[in-house]
Amino acid sequence: MEKRDSLLGGLRILAKWRMQIIYICGAAALGSVIISLLLPIYYKSSTTFLAASPDRISVEAYFPSGSFKTYYYGTGEDIDRILTLAESGELTDFLIDSFNLYQHYDIDPNGLEASHKIQEKFSKLYNVKKDKRDAIIVSVEDQDQELAAAIANAARDRIDFLAMQMIRASQKRELNTLENNIEQKEARLRVLGDTLQVLREKYGIYNMQAQTELLPAQYSSAEANLTREQAKLEAMKTTQGIRKDTIRLTETRVEGIKKEVELLKNKLKLFNEGSAFVDILHKQYLEANQSLGDDVEHLKKLEATYNAEGSALILVEKAKVPVVKSWPKRSILVIGAVFVTFIFTVFGILLFETYQDVNWKEVLNAK
């Protein structure tokens, strides 16, 4: 019952002061309308894009082989990297310098706090967010509609440039590492080639497969020929009527064949001594040459990938010149001002009516 009486009493008080409440709220409405009309008009322009996967600009993507699968859209890490770049000071400084925003925002660039002021001003008008579908939205507000769209598109392009710089830097490090490896392998290959040449000359080994079959055959053939000639010579010596010149000629041929057999024997001995070393070194040379060839081929692919056009973003929508203002929302400002004024007015009236009979001097002086 007391609560109802209290409520009715409050309503009676408000009814008593209704005209004053109407006048005050009307004044607040009129004032907020005038103020809202004097506020500068801002337009918002936004561009939307997705983070692309670095796989799209990798060697495997340009030169596919095997079962490699290219992912076109970036992961959470790629999105975070793009968001970090979009909110970086490097991007902000680039946009401020590119569009001469000190002059546009009427800020003295030589002022003591000029850098802080321009950063604070721009941060209020520049916004980056990720929507529920993982798309990244860059928005710019400005009184100049065309400038808002230009800054938003320039921000997106610069984000792409900075992201590509990071990817290119990684590729450049890989290029430098690969070039150093190639230089080392070339030097090792030269050493192997020179050593192999020395061993070939030392052991007389130039064609391992051919000489493996040819030298034993030549040696066996020479020995058989020597045996035949020696037998023939012995027969000639015991046979009557053979001229001495013929015998000497045969003896000379036998000596020549002996020297040939000895030479082939020495060659075969050297071949057997050095074949294992030459064979091992030859295989190492072939393997090193193959490895070098693979690296050179990979280097060409990496260079082609490094120099190819690429993008770290997938554009969804460019920023367009806005035609509808984004701020101020005059109706919301007026309604909000009237509502706040009404609340405070009602509270003040109720407070005044409730305590108007209190002698505040006695309350304050009472001990």
Spatial separation of the C-alpha atoms in residues 180 and 193, rounded to whole Å: 20
Taking residues 309-334, report their average pLDDT: 78
The C-alpha R_g of the chain, in whole angstroms, comes to 48
Taking residues 238-249, report their average pLDDT: 74
Task: Report yes or no: 316 and 51 within 8 Å, Cβ to Cβ.
Answer: no
Residue 11's pLDDT is: 65
Is the omega angle on the peptide bond into residue 109 within 30 degrees of 0, that is, cis?
no
Which residues does 232 contact at the CB level (< 8 Å), separation at least 6? 250
Distances (CA, A) of 205 to 200, 201, 209, 251: 5, 7, 10, 32
Sign, CA dihedral 20-26-28-30, equals negative
Please tell me the pTM assigned to this model. Answer: 0.68
CA distance from start to end of the chain: 35
Distance of CA 123 to the CA centre of its chain: 27
Lowest mean pLDDT among 3-17, 211-225, 285-299, 338-352: 3-17
Identity (one letter) of the amino acid at 24? I
Identity (one letter) of the amino acid at 52? A
Report DSSP state, residue 356. Answer: T
- The model's pLDDT over 62-115, given as tens digits with 9 standing for 90+, comes to 777 666 666 777 788 888 899 999 988 899 999 989 888 888 888 888 877 888
Identity (one letter) of the amino acid at 184? Q
Q: Say whether pLDDT at 56 is over 70.
A: yes
- The model's pLDDT over 114-132, given as tens digits with 9 standing for 90+, comes to 888 888 888 888 999 988 8
Q: Say whether pLDDT at 329 is over 90.
A: no
Taking residues 41-63, report their average pLDDT: 82
Identity (one letter) of the amino acid at 313? L
Which residues does 181 contact at the CB level (< 8 Å), separation at least 6? 295
Residue 2's pLDDT is: 45
Sign, CA dihedral 86-91-93-98, equals negative
Please name which of 25, 3, 4 lies closest in space to residue 349, comparing C-alpha atoms.
Answer: 25
75: left (phi over 0), alpha (psi -120 to 50) or beta: beta
pLDDT-derived band at 327 (thresholds 50, 70, 90) equals: low
Residue 221's pLDDT is: 80
**What is the maximum span of the chain, computed from C-alpha positions, in angstroms?**
173
Token look-up 């004097």 returns: 38
Is the omega angle on the peptide bond into residue 40 within 30 degrees of 0, that is, cis?
no
Which residues does 88 contact at the CB level (< 8 Å), separation at least 6? 162
